[in-house]
Amino acid sequence: MTQKARAIVITGNGTNCEVEAAHACRLGGFDEAVIAHIADILTGGVRLDDFHFLNLTGGFLDGDDLGSAKAQANRLRYARIAGSEEHLLDQLIRFIADGKPILGVCNGFQMMAKMGLLPSLDGTYLNQEATLTFNDCGRFQDRWVYLKVNPDAPSIFTRGIEKGIYLPIRHGEGKFVAASPAVLEQIENRNLSVLKYTDAAYETSVMEFPLNPNGSQNAIAGICDATGLLMGLMPHPEAFVHRTNHPRWTREELPEDGDGLILFRNAAEYVKKNLC
């Protein structure tokens, strides 16, 4: 019998986009989208094994103490499940080994990078090779950006996007920085840079502010791992799933679906085809 496609959105300790993310999962085609507090996972009441798609959402985890999402990254990596010898990391690595997709948005992307889940050039998902740090402009940015999609990237989330998408960003630490020039070169050579800040024509990646709102290296806004099942991005796809989310929806003719919905729809289609 076919299983229900189940998505989980982790909340707690400062997330603030979990409702929107769960809504996007449902709109995208998941049969269930559960919002689970991190405490429920650490006490064993909720297990990642029971889900097919993990959404690590935006917010200000732990007040961005130690740097954006660093405390939560440490928690996911080192915390043990109550009453068990199992660590949360064991569930997470099993989730990845089972071919289940993970999407990290904004704070979630920061966490994935600092845990070592992205870009995971060595395939271990344990070694940090990149970070997201303070915007070059020196302040929080809340604006909409144009994003060019790399057609050669293996990401399952961007399949079917012809040129680019338009999404909002809201962050103070969104500058993508690789650990070394060699790491950055590998990310580019292996087509792991999925999204880049671009102009309105979706043709040329840009370093100039405000089209590139944070000064990210090579204008990188989102990356994936080699499998294409793990992806992180600073812009918020869950914030544009319907035309009324668009800042000019009363003045422009727009499709019913917002640009961000395709990421969740692709995840749901992948899960139903391969895991259910």
231/262 Cα distance (integer angstroms)? 14
Active-site hit among 52, 173, 238, 246: 238
The span from the CA of 5 to the CA of 138, in Å, is 42
Residue with tokens 């085609």: 29
> Which member of 17, 106, 173, 224 is catalytic?
106
Whether 137 is catalytic: no
10 Å CB burial of residue 25 (0-12, 13-18, 19+) is buried
Task: Report how far apart, in Å, the C-alpha atoms of 67 and of each of 154, 200, 216, 268 are.
Answer: 29, 32, 17, 32
Q: Is 188 a catalytic residue?
A: no
d(CA 1, CA 234): 38
Q: What is the longest distance spanned by two Cα atoms in the chain? A: 57
H helices present in the chain, as ranges: 18-28, 38-42, 70-78, 88-97, 107-115, 181-189, 261-274
238 catalytic residue (yes or no): yes
**What are the residue numbers of the active site?**
106, 236, 238
